[in-house]
A and B are shown apart, each in its own frame.
Chain A
Amino acid sequence: DAGVIQSPRHEVTEMGQEVTLRCKPISGHDYLFWYRQTMMRGLELLIYFNNNVPIDDSGMPEDRFSAKMPNASFSTLKIQPSEPRDSAVYFCASSPTAGYNEQFFGPGTRLTVL
């Protein structure tokens, strides 16, 4: 079975541009998580969904960030407008349940905002 799929793997953009990161979770997993990894802040949970519904978005840094999950097999994380401090690796993860099951991580998207 395919793992979590993320696209693009690398994104370089200029400040002010809109960036859309995409994620396809593992089929049958009801939970989807978006994380951001930076040297300064480590791994941070941005938002997570249960059955396509956002449950906790308290980690979303500001209004420039938005996430959607229109169906069970697709989610997007959008940054508009992007800023250099958004440069990071963004991971998507999915899990059959929350809490006691491990989360399966995608390969990540390395975002560079110039």
Chain B
Amino acid sequence: AQKVTQAQTEISVVEKEDVTLDCVYETRDTTYYLFWYKQPPSGELVFLIRRNSFDEQNEISGRYSWNFQKSTSSFNFTITASQVVDSAVYFCALSDTAGGTSYGKLTFGQGTILTVHP
């Protein structure tokens, strides 16, 4: 069965520090999709990035970067020079066929609470 594990429940850093959020996933599919979402204190879920299982290139977007490694089933997220506005809950998620023939189920990790102190 598909599973997403975010082992870090809470992380606390001081502004300008770099921080990496870990995500490990399990799936039997060879084709699957990975996502990161951000949930700020206001509560909405904001999409950050999508990766498919055939694209292992790392991606950088401003202060955000993602490291996808199929060999270790990991999809880690790094924030460089963190800012107070980065404080949020971050979710890693997996979309696969769940053993069926169609996609649809998005399985979320438990989330990592990131607090950036000024």
Contacts and interface: CB of A to CB of B under 8 A. Distances in A.
A72 interface: no
Chain A residues touching B, range: 20 to 34
B108 A98 contact: no
Contacts, number: 55
B102 interface: yes
B33 A99 contact: yes
Contacts of A102: 35, 47, 50
Contact of A98 (B47, B104, B110): B104
B25 interface: no
B43 A108 contact: yes
Contacts of B96: 99
Interface stretch (A12-20, A40-48, A74-82): A40-48
The CB with the most chain A CB atoms within 10 A, among B47, B91, B106, is that of B106
Given A98-B102, A100-B52, A102-B50, A108 B44 contact: yes
7 contacts: A33-B104, A42-B108, A42-B111, A50-B104, A98-B103, A99-B96, A103-B106
